[in-house]
A and B are shown apart, each in its own frame.
Chain A
Amino acid sequence: MNSIRQRVLGGIFLGLLFSLSACSSPTQTAQSDAILKLNIGANPSFLNPVLMTDSASSSVVGLVFDGLFKRNEDLDMEKELVKSYSVSKDGLTYTFRLRKGVKWHDGHPFTAEDVNYTFDVLLDPKTNTVRRGHFIINGNPIIFKVIDTHTIQATLPQPFAPFIATLDMGILPKHLLEGKDINTADFNRHPIGTGPFIFKDWKSGQFVTLKKNPHYFKGAPKLDGILMKIIPDPNTALMALQKNELDAAGIPAKDVPKIEKISYLDIYKYSRLNYSYIGLNVKKPPFDNLILRQAIDHAINKPAIIKSILKGYGEVAYIPSHPLSWAYPKSSDLVKHDYNPQTSETLIQSLGYKRHIKTNIYEKEGVPLSFTLIIAQGSPETQKMAQIIQQYLITSGIKMRIQVMEWSAFLKVIHSHQDPKPFDAVLLGWGFDITDPDDAYTSWHSSQYPKGGNFNGYQSAKADRLLEKGRVTISQKKRKKIYTEFFQTIGTDTPYIFLFHPQSITGIHKRVKGLSKPGPAGILTRIEQVYLED
């Protein structure tokens, strides 16, 4: 009996196998609609501009919602839901006149009440948002007030130059969210905005689909819809691009030569607004010594690292800003510590260090010149980079140990509240776009140490003064001067070894037209103008 049952069971499974192969004929239906197929790489968290913290969500949210302003391809703030605005003479009161006739995707009219509601939610302590801090200046919140249905006023506690730069956050519909717990609302998975695309469907871990908003205030998009697939593995995504399952995908630097040969794909390279660096703990030896920090900076060949790690797709970084930012100083104003092992050794010797006869490592009073670099687990590139840096330092007589840590353990060390923090040096990439030079405030102002974004303990009265002045000065010309001086201070004090600004590389099908100028935000920033050629 058992054997019969087993055979029947086996037959069923074999039948399943056959049915699987029978189904293997391509089932793709002909699509007459113009659907752009993109990859967002990860399951989004919140499709809500106030709550989201990840790039997958922000890719979707950027198409469904509109902000008061939008950052364009030249990094300028362009008016979006705002039609015009004026600033009072003291720089404290902003009056925004909103566009009329804009409608939410459910047909409800958009008014100043929605803007007011969005900032109310944002400032409500019960909301789990990481953006509240942008709207609180020295402990005092920015106050929003509805003047009439299409005018809203913001009153700042003190002049704050980066204010407009924070207003690209999407606006939420009051009529759908009022009285609900925003942290758990179903709205976060079925968003309704005013943007060029209407949310259609989200299958967890599979895809998000959007359809065009025919009533979009800047004119209906040329595409019928967008399919945002969730393919986490970049290798799979690359094959999906070659197979037409995706219209665009990120290309790892090593695969560029292979993709360049494919006739139906175009490759675009554009700068990312971030930088990689070694953060030195300036609160404890050995890096409490300025000369030694500069010596290390001279010992590392950054162009060579760009060539090997990024295959040349990047540029050398000198300061915590980006050449595309308006605040970036002209080249002659930059403090550069170019690769020069000789200078490095001279500096080390000037501190009284001597090479040990056997180990060939510099030492002083019997203590060798050595330190530990901590890196986060997960990226083979980071690990490789650490090893290259290790090689440069050992030839200059400096011993560097590499310690790989799990991400949370790593963050716990650099965010610990003790002084000095328990690390020597850390290798990191700043993964966030630089939107305004005031971003430097949280990383470099004395008040942000040991609790805050200033994790390496840099404290300079001069830098503090410049940062404080930079955020209350409204004129961009004056600000540029202030920040140039600030960046020179950082360059001279060398609390970080700045390594490079990486580039993004995107492969896109030739049939996708209407692309914007390649910039840090990509090539699809004017999504309503993108279309597919037959």
Chain B
Amino acid sequence: MPYLIKRLLSAIPLLIGITFISFSLMKLAPGDATSMYRDPSISQADIAQIRSNLGLDQPLVVQYAKWLNNTIHGNLGYSFVTGEPTSKAIGDRIGATLLLSCASFGIILVITFFLGLWSGYKKGSRFDDWVTIITFVGMSIPTFWLGLILILVFSLTLNVFPTSGYSNPFLSEASSLVRLGDIFHHMTLPLLTIVIGGVAGLTRYHRFGIISILNQDYIRAARARGISESIILFKHAFKNACLPIITILGLSLPGLISGSFVVEYIFAWPGLGQLGVQAVFARDYPIIMGTLLMSSVLIISGNLLADIAYAKIDPRIGTLS
């Protein structure tokens, strides 16, 4: 427990450091929210006035201190582009993002785990060859192309899924079960796009992990003792194969909320990826800082959780720390 408290306390200066550096980097990028008004008929006086209203004419440290003070008091500010509270802008999008990313992440993990396990175990077999070919093809397909092809085939030609969107606006008064089904119906194609790309990448990773574990001395020793293959695979190799998965889990946590811009853009999915990228292009500082703060918290807690899980699975790591 004291270890946990120590880790949590050390996260505070880390967070301040991350946000300050991000804030400075953001300010180093040319332009600000007002430089997006390119219409030459907009008077310079209007632009100067807006900059001063938004506090953009103040020194960097002052702007950061103000942001930090407001954030500590639970106020993440208002978007420069929409005037909406940052917390609401993020809150509106987080549900759709989490739904898509958690579902795809779960499916990818399960599929890749078994595919990797089996093709690693049956290294060199015809099954392994096919998995290798398919994963390489899957890795080479650009996401935007795959997304458009899926829409073309499953939506336009076969007419089984809608082209895009999150929900059917005409169902807003339907029962919650129907609405949930409608969301899943809309989610299938973007989910498939992410899963195909994700499975391809991760399977290679797992396959290699399994191959290197199965070459270990203790597996050979277990075989020599005549232990059944399924016990070797699922009891002895499994725990060790979990370690890289935990690393990936820890690293993927922030990715879960940042969303995928390309998939969201193609499928008009109202997620945080679109919000974040648009905020960067529009220099919408409060939204950028809001999403940054959230991902920093998740990166730090993701690492912490991964470390704790490591210690639980591998007792050696636990005693070391």
A488 to B185, CA, bound (A): 60
Contacting residue for A408 out of B35, B93, B156, B269, CB 8 A: B35
A142 to B39, CA, bound (A): 22
Contacting residue for B168 out of A16, A27, A130, A408, CB 8 A: A27
B161-175 interface bits toward A, Cβ cutoff 8 Å, 1 = contact, 0 = none: 111111111111010
Which 8 pairs from chain A and chain B are nearest by CB? A453-B40, A205-B270, A133-B43, A408-B31, A3-B234, A204-B92, A412-B30, A23-B181
Query: Which A residues lie within 8 Å of B166 (CB)?
Result: 203, 205-206
Query: Which A residues lie within 8 Å of B268 (CB)?
Result: 205-206, 229-233, 236
Q: Does B274 contact A (CB under 8 A)?
A: yes
CB–CB A205/B171 < 8 A: no
Which of A102-110, A240-248, A340-348 lies at the interface?
A240-248
Contacting residue for B238 out of A3, A20, A31, A451, CB 8 A: A3
Q: How large is the interface on A (under 10, 10 to 19, 20 to 34, 35 or more residues)?
A: 35 or more
Q: Apart from A205-B271, A243-B155, A408-B31, what are 5 other A-B pairs with CB-CB below 8 Å?
A: A2-B239, A26-B160, A243-B156, A431-B39, A442-B43
CB–CB B89/A13 < 8 A: no
A123-136 interface bits toward B, Cβ cutoff 8 Å, 1 = contact, 0 = none: 00110111111101
Nearest Cβ on chain B to A226's Cβ, whole angstroms: 11
Q: Does A88 contact B (CB under 8 A)?
A: no
CB–CB B82/A46 < 8 A: yes
Q: List 30 A-B contacts (CB under 8 A).
A: A2-B242, A3-B234, A6-B238, A10-B114, A16-B103, A26-B159, A43-B278, A46-B83, A125-B49, A128-B49, A130-B46, A132-B49, A183-B78, A205-B93, A205-B268, A227-B169, A229-B165, A231-B163, A232-B265, A232-B268, A233-B164, A236-B151, A236-B267, A236-B268, A243-B156, A408-B36, A411-B31, A411-B38, A412-B35, A453-B41
Q: Does A331 contact B (CB under 8 A)?
A: no
Q: Does B307 contact A (CB under 8 A)?
A: no
Query: Which B residues lie within 8 Å of A442 (CB)?
Result: 40-41, 43
A235 to B266, CA, bound (A): 8
Query: Which A residues lie within 8 Å of B72 (CB)?
Result: none
Query: Which B residues lie within 8 Å of A207 (CB)?
Result: 165, 169
Q: Does A264 contact B (CB under 8 A)?
A: no
A259 to B114, CA, bound (A): 45
Please report whether the interface of chain B is mostly helix, strand, loop or mixed according to DSSP: helix
Interface centre among A236, A412, A443 (most CB of B within 10 A): A236
Interface centre among B30, B155, B265 (most CB of A within 10 A): B30
A439 to B275, CA, bound (A): 33
CB–CB B163/A236 < 8 A: yes
Query: Which A residues lie within 8 Å of B161 (CB)?
Result: 24
A239 to B187, CA, bound (A): 17
Nearest Cβ on chain A to B82's Cβ, whole angstroms: 5
CB–CB A128/B54 < 8 A: yes
Query: Of all chain A residues, which has the CB nearest B283?
Result: A408
Q: Does B12 contact A (CB under 8 A)?
A: no
Q: Does A379 contact B (CB under 8 A)?
A: no
Query: Of all chain A residues, which has the CB nearest B272?
Result: A205
A2 to B110, CA, bound (A): 14
CB–CB A133/B163 < 8 A: no
Query: Which B residues lie within 8 Å of A245 (CB)?
Result: 162-164
